[in-house]
Amino acid sequence: MKTLLITNSFDETSDFLLGDFAPGQVFRLNYDLIKDYEIFFNNEYYKIETPFLSIEKHEVAKVLWRKAFLGSEHFDLELTKFHAAEYKYILREIMNIAIKEGKFVLNFPDADQFQGKIYQNMVAKKYFKVPETNFISSQRSIEVLDKKIAKSLSSKNFSDGKVLYTTDISGKTLRPQNPFYIQEKISAELDVTVVYVYGKIFSYCLDRKLFNGLDWRSNPFELAKFWKEYHLSKDKLELIESLMSELNWCYGRLDFLLSGDDLIFLEVNPNGQWGWLDSNKINGLFAAIRDAIDPQLPIPISRLT
Amino acid sequence: MFRIGSLAQDTLDLENLAAQPVRIDAPEGDYSHETQTRVRKAGHDTVMWTPNATQTFNFQGRPNDADSD
């Protein structure tokens, strides 16, 4: 039996994972290189192959949807918008079949579109402190009278490639007809991130004094090495379990701020990255993910909303 | 707290708040369907992840990353 891994060819976390499996145990299907594959479907069966490996529907023990993105500017993709959409459709059909057959691992694609950041806040406030949050799009300008930050809901880029990191807007006046996702600005000593994998919880922290500004992702590659394991108390672990149980997700990367003894909930990403948090495979996170996708091991009990 | 309908002229839209994302070179070398990994030149520093808005682009080469980090 095999695991089908749907991702892209520059996903280094997949490189990292594949190094731990025997050849052929995991079949990697890269969306950005999709034209390289032989793909055949009918109403009962599918087969996907390269000159070196193949996978057929009856061989599939597990399917993992990681990062099915198209390639970077360094790749000549030669895909039209139509081709890209058709190929993406068939990838989603593979996942739909896997979901129906109980063979998907971690989370299903775009899980956050069903339980997004605002809904997450509504659930999380039962368990954690949650920043006061607003979404405002007004026909009139809006003056921000106290300490607030703006951030992105969708994590999309602007047309010029820029992004919206978490940014202080205290005292600013906001232009009408703009979709502002706004939260109260929290003073915190640590960023805490938690990876939840089928009931196992791995927690890490980053000292916020190590970076300027509000968002560590504005310098992620330099700061990645400063994340350290962080011990969470039993009661906080139980709160995380309760939150993930209510969201009905079996995988997620949860972001918090630590202010005093309080964990302030920010968001859960149901397909969040994790590779840099256990790059030496020593703290159990790598092993938990690896075991989840190992085609020889049973599928942990899945949650599906 | 907010004051709706401010008369201030110096207003911000979201593009005023945007910043260029951190960029990292894509892994060097070609993807190998045999090993199912990208063949890297010596010295390439594996980064293990792609934060949001970094390294992902649409079919026309424009950034496109709806799946945040």
> Tens of pLDDT along chain A (305 residues)?
999 999 998 888 999 999 999 999 999 999 989 999 999 999 999 999 999 999 999 999 999 999 998 855 444 556 788 888 899 999 999 999 999 999 999 988 999 999 999 999 999 999 999 999 999 999 999 999 999 999 999 888 888 888 898 999 999 999 999 999 999 999 999 999 999 999 999 999 999 988 877 887 777 777 888 999 999 999 999 999 999 999 999 999 999 999 999 999 999 999 999 999 999 999 999 999 999 999 999 998 766 54
| pLDDT higher at B60 or A58 | A58
Residue whose entry in the numeric block shows the structure tokens 């899980």 = A111
Residue A233's pLDDT is 96
Comparing CB atoms, the residue among B13, B18, B27 nearest residue A163 is: B18
**Which of B28, B33, B39, B54 to probe by mutation at the A interface, max A CB count within 10 Å?**
B33
Q: Write the secondary structure of chain A as one string of H (helix), E (strand) and C (coil).
A: CEEEEEECCCCHHHHHHHCCCCCCCEEEEEHHHHHHCEEEECCCCEEEECCCCEEEHHHEEEEEECCCCCCCCCCCCCCCHHHHHHHHHHHHHHHHHHHHCCCECCCCCCHHHCCCHHHHHHHHCCCCECCCEEEECCCCCEEECCCEEEECCCCCCCCCCCECCCEECCCCEECCCCCEEEEECCCCCEEEEEEEECCEEEEEEEEHHHCCCCCHHHCHHHHHHHCEECCCCHHHHHHHHHHHHHHCCCEEEEEEEEECCEEEEEEEECCCCCHHHHCCCCCCHHHHHHHHHCCCCCCCCCCCC
Nearest Cα to Cα of residue A243 among A273, A268, A277, A260: A268
Residue A196's pLDDT is 97
pTM: 0.89
Fold for A111-129+188-293, please state it.
D-amino Acid Aminotransferase; Chain A, domain 1 (3.30.470)
Cβ-based contacts of B29 with chain A (< 8 Å): none
Element (H, E) at B31: strand B31-32
Question: 3-state SS of chain B: helix, strand, coil percent to 5?
Answer: 5, 15, 75
- A73 → chain B, closest CA residue: B61
Cβ-based contacts of A51 with chain B (< 8 Å): 33-34
- Asked whether the predicted pLDDT for residue B45 surpasses 80, the reply is no
Domain ranges of chain A: 2-100, 111-129+188-293, 133-184
- Asked whether the predicted pLDDT for residue B69 surpasses 50, the reply is no
- Asked whether the predicted pLDDT for residue B57 surpasses 80, the reply is no
- A280 → chain B, closest CA residue: B48
Q: Cβ of A93: how many Cβ atoms within 10 Å?
A: 12
Residue whose entry in the numeric block shows the structure tokens 């890297």 = B40
Strand partners, A54: A49
Nearest Cα to Cα of residue A25 among A297, A214, A211: A297
- Asked whether the predicted pLDDT for residue B55 surpasses 50, the reply is no
Cβ-based contacts of A140 with chain B (< 8 Å): 4-6
CB contact under 8 A, B19 and A162: yes
Residue B40, min C-alpha distance to chain A (Å): 11
pLDDT, tens digit (0-9, with 9 covering 90-100), for B2-25: 988 877 778 888 988 998 877 665
Strand partners, A265: A256
Ranking A156-160, A199-203, B26-30, B56-60 by mean pLDDT, the lowest is: B56-60
Residue A219's pLDDT is 74
Beta carbons of A103 and A60 less than 8 angstroms apart? yes
Comparing CB atoms, the residue among B19, B56, B66 nearest residue A72 is: B56
